[in-house]
Amino acid sequence: MLDDGQTLPEPFTKKDIVLKNKRYYSTNFVVLLKFSLAQDALNVLGLALSTSIRPEVREFYKTCLTKTADLVDMCLKLKVKLGLHQPLIYLPENQKVDKINKQEFLGNFFGRNRNLTTSEVLQLTNNYRAIEVTREVCRSFSRSMNTELKAHYERGIEMCKDHLESIKSKLDKDELPQLPTWESEIDTEGGAPFSEQVDAIQNSKFNECCCGPLRSLCFFHIP
């Protein structure tokens, strides 16, 4: 129940859709966007489930996890069908066990360079794909007529670009395949597709979900 003086937020309506009767995002990008959000939602929901005490709340999160896992599965099947899972990265199988016995394994932070490990390649590629989707979302919102919002989204685009270049340089050094970008999947002609209010809310929610992959980079040092 609402306390005295509290008001409900004003809901969005069809008036908040600026570019009506126009396909702004391609089917490919919608699949990529849904997969990225669902992938990160699994992490958030898993944390919520493991930290909840009340049985009915845990049951709620279990249901959410099941439905989100189904969505991830559906998106993965669509990605494969549309060829969006390419390129596949194949790493050579080690023929011998290489144990870590010196700090120099961490790379040039302490000493010598080394090739990326499988887990590092996985983290880097996942981060690259999530950041690229984020960049394209910011790029689509940057068509706003509000100069302050436009500058905000353009700054986000540049930040994403810097992250992408950094990850790309790590992968290139190990001669790994280049990962695609998705500029062609968004029609940025004209203005922004939604109202400024929708842009701001959606961008905020999207960043809350997709900041998870970026945090994973903090767990290891990559030379």
User: Around Cβ 107, how many Cβ atoms within 10 Å?
Assistant: 17
More confident of the two residues 207 and 38? 38
Q: What are phi and psi of 10, to 5 degrees?
A: -75, 125
**Neighbour-count burial of 36, counting CB atoms closer than 10 A to its CB (0-12 exposed, 13-18 middle, 19+ buried):** buried
Q: What is the pLDDT of residue 208?
A: 61
Q: What is the pLDDT of residue 32?
A: 93
- Summarised one tens digit per residue, pLDDT across range 67-90 is 999 999 999 999 999 999 888 888
Report residue 199 as tokens.
């842009």
Per mean pLDDT, which range of 86-90, 99-103, 155-159, 219-223 is the poorest?
219-223
On whether the CB atoms of residues 49 and 61 are closer than 8 A, the answer is yes
Looking at the chain, the whole-number percentage of residues with pLDDT higher than 70 is 76
Confidence of residue 152 (pLDDT cuts 50, 70, 90): confident
Alpha carbon distances (Å) from 135 to 55, 56, 160, 164? 39, 38, 6, 10
Number of helices followed by number of strands (H, E) in the chain: 5, 0
CA distance 71 to 211: 20
Residue 144 scores a pLDDT above 90: no
More confident of the two residues 157 and 212? 157
CA distance 140 to 138: 5
On whether the CB atoms of residues 138 and 156 are closer than 8 A, the answer is yes
Alpha carbon distances (Å) from 124 to 32, 84, 106, 171? 17, 17, 16, 8
Mean pLDDT (whole number) for 47-71: 95
Q: What is the pLDDT of residue 214?
A: 47
Alpha-carbon torsion 125, 126, 129, 131, what sign? Answer: negative
Average pLDDT, whole number, for the chain? 79
Residue 110 scores a pLDDT above 50: no
Residue 117 scores a pLDDT above 60: yes
- Kindly list the domain boundaries of the chain, sorted by start residue: 21-88+111-219
Confidence of residue 189 (pLDDT cuts 50, 70, 90): confident
